[in-house]
Structure 1
Amino acid sequence: MQAVQATAFGDPSVLEVVTLPDPTPAAGQISIDVTHSAVGLIDLFFRQGRYKDVAGMPQPPFVPGLEVAGTVRALGEGVTGFTPGERVVTMSAGGTGGYATVSVAPAASVVSIEGSGIDPALAVAAIPNAAMAHVALAHVAHLREGESVLIHGALGGFAAAFAGIAKQLGASRVVGTVRGSKLAAAATTKLPYDAIVDSADMLAALGEERFDVVIDPVGGDLRTQSLDLMQVGGRLIASGNASEDWGHRLDSNQLWLRSIAVLGFNSGAFLPTHPQFVRPALEAALEAVAAGLAETVVDVLPLSEAAVAHSRMEERAVDGRIVLATGV
């Protein structure tokens, strides 16, 4: 198979197109002929070596890529409910292996899009993230019908999935924040936000409005400022650190003074210990995408341009998601 391999930790130039043996599915797994692979922030962190000293994290050489779309190639022992040639979307095993023409994933993390009419580029860009958003909102934030939600980095690859899932779960109002340079793109988005404001001016823009749930994949000072926008009993989900402010700290006294909660959500840690949530989340995500609740912008590049995709991600020159296509 053809694959893009991180040959070392470093800048995007370490990504090289190589030829590797085709992987075969073990028991409980499915191998997939990949048509599209989404580029995520976690791929950049793995390539940069952010987690190189953490046990179990990828070490060079490795093939990045968490989310893939394609057709079923072969079924591992014990796998039922899928047919070779069926169109599917999945999150790969271990968060790697997606930038390739063949990938392997646990059957439990695979969902069929056969007959759905969903474009595979949108499917891989939206369904896995929407599934993770469903888990975060339903089982970590415990979002209740009628509550309000604030989403930072509203157009970003991961954050964009939260708006539709929040609406699907019955949120009464969903507001997003973006950097000022993204306001023009926000004005034309098809994502189901009730409003999107400049994150640099959000306290003034939102006035007295307060939220039950805040989704924060950005971090840094924005996380601290978010405490001023939370209802009593509100829950902030720290779901990333796009700001790359790794030294940021919150004043824990503010939590009991305001009677609010800050919770973390990392799907790589949460889902393996809560596997019962994966299948319902994938089905909810498929339903949300089919209903048009996740119409994020998707930019498709050839698999061979993975380094270009990573450079654009690092330069924040992306609205929505970048997807790598094997057949381009």
Structure 2
Amino acid sequence: MKAVQANAFGDPAVLSVVELPDPAPGLGQVAIDVSHAAVGLIDLFFRQGVYRDSPGMPQPPFVPGLEVAGTVRELGEGVTDLHVGEQVVAMSQTGTGGYATVYVANAHSVVSIEGSGIDPALAVAMIPNAAMAYAALTEVAHLREGETVLVHGALGGLAGAFPGMAKQLGASRVVGTVLTGKLDQARATKLPYDRIVDSTQLSEVLGDEKFDVIIDPVGGRIRTQSLALMGPGGRLIAAGNASGDREHTITDSELWLGSITIAGFNAGAFLPTHPEVVRPALEAARTAVAAGLCQTVVDVLPFSQAALAHERMENRSVAGRIVLGARS
């Protein structure tokens, strides 16, 4: 098979297309002929070596890629609910392996899109992230019908899946925030936000409005500012750190005084330890995407341009999501 491999930690130039042996599925696994692999922020962090000293994190050489779409190539022993040739989307439990023409996934991390009418490029761009949003909202934030949600970094790959999933789960209002320079782009989006505001002027534009749930994949200063936007019983989900501010802290007195909760959600840690959540999350995500609740711009590049895809992600010159096409 062809694969995009990170041969060392470093800049996008460490990525190259290589030939590797075709993997075969084991017990409870599915081999997939990959048509599309999504490019995510975690791929950049792995390539850069941000987590190089953390146990279990990928070490070069490795194949990045968390999310794939394609058709079932071969079924491992014990897999009975899928068939060869079926269109599917799959999530990696290791966060790697997706930038390849053949990928092996655990069957419970695979969902069929056969007959759904969902374009596979959109499917891989949105279904896994919407599944993560479902898990975060139901298992961690415990979102209830009629509650309100605020999403920081509203156009991000993961963040952009939250408004549609929150609406599907019964949220009454979903507001997004972006930096000043992205306001025009954000307001033209098809994502189902009720309003999108400037993240540098939260108190000015939101006034006394409070939110039941805040999704924060940005971190840093905006995480502290979010505390004033929650009433008693509010829940903030720390879902990433795109700001890169790893020194930011919040004191426990701020939590008990406001009677608010901050919880972390890292899909790479949560989903492998809660496997029973994965398939229902993927099925809910498929429903949301098919209903048009997770529309985004998808730019498809060939595998040979994986380095360019990473450069564009680093330069923040991405309007929606970048997907690598194995057959482009």
Q: Same fold (TM over 0.5)?
A: yes
Residue 32 of structure 1 contacts residue 104 of structure 1 at CA under 8 Å; is this kept in 2?
yes
Structure 1 CA distance for aligned equivalents of residues 28 and 148 of structure 2: 39
The 8 Å contact of residues 302 and 326 in structure 1, kept in 2 or not, is answered as: yes
SS of equivalent to 2:77:
coil
Within a 5 Å distance, the mapping from 1:8-47 to structure 2 comes to 8-47=8-47
**Contact preservation (8 Å) 1:92, 1:103:** no
CA contact (8 A) 2:144 2:171 kept: yes
Contact 1:93-1:104 within 8 A present in 2 as well: no
Aligned equivalent of 2:183 = 183
Question: Could you tell me how far apart the structure 1 residues matched to 2:294 and 2:70 are?
Answer: 19
* Partner SS for 2:228: helix
Retained in 2: the 8 A contact 1:132–1:267? Answer: yes
CA distance in 2, matches of 1:301, 1:170: 36
Give the percent of matched residue pairs that are identical in Structure 1 and Structure 2.
72
Partner Cα distance (1:169, 1:110) in 2 = 22
The one-letter amino acid paired with 1:181 is G
- Within 2, Cα distance between the matches of 1:69 and 1:106? 14
TM-score (norm 1): 0.99
Does the 8 A contact of 1:23 with 1:103 survive in 2? yes
Q: Secondary structure at the match of 2:131?
A: helix
Unaligned runs of 5+ in 2: none
Confirm or deny that 1:82 pairs with 2:82. yes
- For structure 1, list consecutive stretches of 5 or more residues without a partner in the other structure: none
Query: RMSD of the TM alignment (CA)?
Result: 0.7
Measure the CA separation in 1 of the matches of 2:189 and 2:268.
29
8 Å CA contact 1:29–1:75 kept in 2: the answer is: yes
Q: 2-side partners of 1:245 and 1:99: how far apart?
A: 29
Alpha-carbon displacement from aligned partner over 1:109-151 (angstroms, at most 9, x marks no partner) = 0000000000000000000000000000011000000000000
Q: Deviations over 1:20-68 (max 9, x none)?
A: 1111111111010000000011101110111111111101000000000
Q: Secondary structure at the match of 1:214?
A: strand
8 Å contact 1:24–1:104 — kept in the other structure? yes
State the TM-score, normalized to the length of structure 2: 0.99
- Rounded to whole Å, the distance in 2 between the matches of 1:57 and 1:261 is 29
Q: Measure the CA separation in 2 of the matches of 1:287 and 1:40.
A: 22
2:137 matches 1:154? no
2:298 counterpart residue number: 298
- Look up the SS of the partner of 1:95 in the other structure: coil
Tell me whether 1:166 sits opposite 2:161 in the alignment. no
Alignment match, 1:91: 91
- Partner Cα separation in structure 2 for residue 218 and residue 177 of structure 1: 10
Which deviates more, 86-95 or 234-243? 86-95
User: Secondary structure of the residue that 1:94 maps to in structure 2?
Assistant: coil
Offset, 1:274: 1.1
The answer on whether the counterparts of 1:141 and 1:213 sit within 8 Å (CA) in structure 2 is yes
Contact 2:93 2:268 in 1 (8 A): no
Q: Which amino acid aligns with 1:201?
A: Q
Distance 2:2 2:111 in 1: 24
Determine if the alignment matches structure 1 residue 257 to structure 2 residue 249.
no
SS in 2 for 1:202: helix
CA distance in 1, matches of 2:21, 2:50: 28
Partners of 2:9 and 2:229 in 1: CA distance: 39
Residue 244 of structure 2 corresponds to 244
User: Amino acid of the residue matched to residue 185 of structure 1?
Assistant: Q
**Residue 207 (structure 2) pairs with residue 207 (structure 1):** yes
Q: Which structure 2 residues correspond to residues 104-143 of structure 1 after superposition, within 5 A?
A: 104-143=104-143
CA distance in structure 1 between the aligned counterparts of 2:134 and 2:42, rounded to whole angstroms: 19
Q: What amino acid is the match of 2:172?
A: S
Following superposition, the deviation at residue 251 of structure 1 comes to 2.1
Alignment deviations for residues 166-212 of structure 1 (CA, whole Å, 9 cap, x no partner) = 00010010000011111111111111100000101122100110000
State how many pairs are aligned.
328
**Residue identity in the other structure for 2:220:** G
Structure 1 runs of 4+ off > 3 angstroms?
none
